[in-house]
């Protein structure tokens, strides 16, 4: 409190002790106390360590007992809450992280839940000033901002199941080792509701120490990585063909080993003709030729309408920051050709996100309802679950 100091000597004594106890440069402290001598509040340091704070409090206790009057007693410590992530790297991309902006008193959610719900989670700080009038906090010189005891941010209850998340993390690491892969994603979703029970990504990071994180690991690949889904996409084409009525589960088609679609000849991955097969066998054998036939039976207009109904080429609106759309070429655009209809049917020549693919498959499991995936189950306001 600069206005409590009665002389330059008192300001210098306080500055000397703060440098000795907390490493705050004495010259800077003296300059602040002198420059803003008419104010009741001035911030001398954006943050100090817990140990330094304890040393100051212990010294103040001794001085108060000895005389009750000392320049150091004009200095007040204001505890600043810090976010701590007890699960560390587990689910890190989902929870997200905070970044320090400008100084240690200002933080901003930069990924995951922390980013998407930043305004809800963020604590609110008060400002108390005397001797001057400022209409906005942003107009205050940084060094004279005074942060009064903060109002804690609100709480969120997530859909993540801790046990399921741990299992997903472990299984992902096993798969990466088994197949010598560099990265991967696992999503566990309740198809009936869209609740995400687990979302694991690797590589990952510790949000408690964002400065040491590889920024590629901070990215939530479950919602922001675009990739060719490959043969798992055959389930989408099969479901569309069934729903439209162009085929039935028991209807057979002949696999001759190849089929021309536009300017491209499509082959099965094993380069074998499998003869007469029904839908079950075609999916079990992952036959490109039969899947392309289903797409041709649907026709280009109806096929791409179904892709849109399954949520491809658009965000799922999951409550996480930085979700991307994927990429679906459509008839009528310059980069689309008839051969794309054939290759798209089995997941090539298009790009989806893991969350889009999981949500589409979930809609098959739940009887045809495309849900909106979500991470936040409830909000807590003033101790009440909303």
Round to whole Å and give the CA distance between 116 and 82. Answer: 19
Domain boundaries, the chain: 2-74, 92-154, 230-352
Beta bridge partners of 260: 265
Which comes out higher in pLDDT, residue 123 or 150? 123
Joined together, the tokens standing for residue 213 give 């994180």
pLDDT bucket at 152, cuts 50 / 70 / 90: low
Q: Render pLDDT for 345-360 as a digit per residue (tens, 0 to 9).
A: 999 999 999 999 999 9
State the average pLDDT for the chain.
Answer: 88
Following DSSP, what letter does each residue of 237-299 receive, concatenated? HHHHHHHHTS--TT--EEE-SEEEETTEEEE-TT----EEE-HHHHHHTT-HHHHHHHHHHH-
Q: What is the reported pLDDT for 134?
A: 36
Q: Render pLDDT for 94-147 as a digit per residue (tens, 0 to 9).
A: 999 887 665 555 577 888 999 999 888 876 544 433 333 333 434 444 444 433
Average of per-residue pLDDT across 284-300: 98
Burial of 245 (0-12, 13-18, 19+ CB in 10 A): exposed
Percent of residues, the chain, with pLDDT higher than 90: 67
pTM: predicted TM-score of the whole model, two decimal places: 0.78
Beta bridge partners of 277: 253
Q: What is the reported pLDDT for 327?
A: 97
Q: What is the reported pLDDT for 276?
A: 98
pLDDT higher than 70, residue 153: no
What are the two backbone dihedrals, phi and then psi, of residue 361, each rounded to the nearest 5 degrees?
-65, -35
pLDDT higher than 90, residue 293: yes
Average of per-residue pLDDT across 314-339: 96
Round to whole Å and give the CA distance between 85 and 114. Answer: 12
Percent of residues, the chain, with pLDDT higher than 70: 89
Q: Find the helix or strand (DSSP H, E) in which 197 lies.
A: strand 196-202
Average of per-residue pLDDT across 354-369: 98
CATH number of 230-352: 3.40.710.10
Q: Render pLDDT for 217-234 as a digit per residue (tens, 0 to 9).
A: 999 999 999 999 999 999
Q: What is the reported pLDDT for 137?
A: 39
Residue indicated by tokens 């100091």: 5
pLDDT bucket at 81, cuts 50 / 70 / 90: low
Residues 6+ apart with CB under 8 A from 127: 137, 140, 145, 146, 147, 148
Least confident of 32-41, 71-80, 141-150: 141-150
Joined together, the tokens standing for residue 120 give 């809800």
pLDDT higher than 60, residue 60: yes
Q: What is the reported pLDDT for 140?
A: 41
pLDDT higher than 80, residue 27: yes
Residue indicated by tokens 């919602």: 223
Following DSSP, what letter does each residue of 311-330 receive, concatenated? TTTS----SSTT----B---
């Amino acid at each position: 409190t600069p206005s409590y100091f009665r002389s330059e000597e008192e300001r210098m004594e306080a500055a000397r002790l703060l440098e000795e106890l907390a490493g705050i440069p004495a010259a800077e402290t003296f300059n602040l106390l002198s420059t803003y001598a008419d104010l009741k509040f001035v911030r001398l340091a954006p943050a100090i360590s817990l140990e330094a704070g304890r040393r100051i409090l212990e010294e103040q206790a001794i001085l108060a007992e000895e005389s009750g009057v000392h320049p150091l007693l004009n200095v007040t410590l204001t505890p600043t809450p810090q976010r701590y992530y007890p699960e560390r790297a587990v689910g890190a991309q989902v929870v997200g992280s905070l970044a320090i902006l400008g100084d240690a008193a200002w933080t901003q959610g930069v990924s995951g839940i922390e980013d998407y719900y930043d305004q809800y989670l963020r604590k609110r700080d008060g400002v108390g000033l005397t001797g001057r009038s400022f209409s906005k906090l942003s107009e205050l010189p940084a060094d004279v901002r005074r942060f009064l005891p903060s109002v804690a941010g609100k709480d969120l209850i997530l859909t993540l199941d801790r046990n399921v998340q741990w299992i997903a993390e472990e299984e992902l690491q096993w798969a990466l080792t088994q197949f010598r892969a560099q990265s991967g994603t696992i999503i566990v979703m309740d198809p009936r509701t869209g609740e995400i029970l687990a979302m694991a990504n690797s590589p990952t990071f510790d949000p408690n120490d964002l400065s040491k994180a590889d920024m590629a690991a901070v990215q939530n690949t479950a919602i922001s990585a675009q990739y060719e889904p490959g043969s798992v996409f055959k389930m989408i084409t099969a479901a569309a063909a069934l729903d439209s009525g162009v085929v039935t589960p028991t209807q057979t088609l002949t696999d001759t080993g190849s089929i021309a679609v536009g300017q491209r000849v499509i082959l099965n991955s094993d380069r074998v003709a499998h003869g007469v097969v029904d839908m079950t066998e075609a999916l079990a054998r992952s036959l490109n030729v039969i899947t392309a036939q289903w797409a041709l039976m649907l026709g280009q207009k109806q096929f791409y309408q179904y892709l849109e109904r399954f949520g491809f080429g658009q965000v799922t609106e999951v409550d996480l920051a930085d979700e991307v759309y994927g990429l679906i070429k459509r008839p009528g655009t310059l980069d689309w050709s008839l051969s794309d209809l054939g290759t798209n049917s089995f997941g090539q020549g298009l790009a989806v996100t893991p969350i889009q693919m999981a949500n589409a498959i979930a809609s098959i499991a739940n009887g045809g309802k495309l849900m909106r995936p979500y991470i936040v189950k409830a909000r807590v306001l003033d101790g009440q679950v909303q």
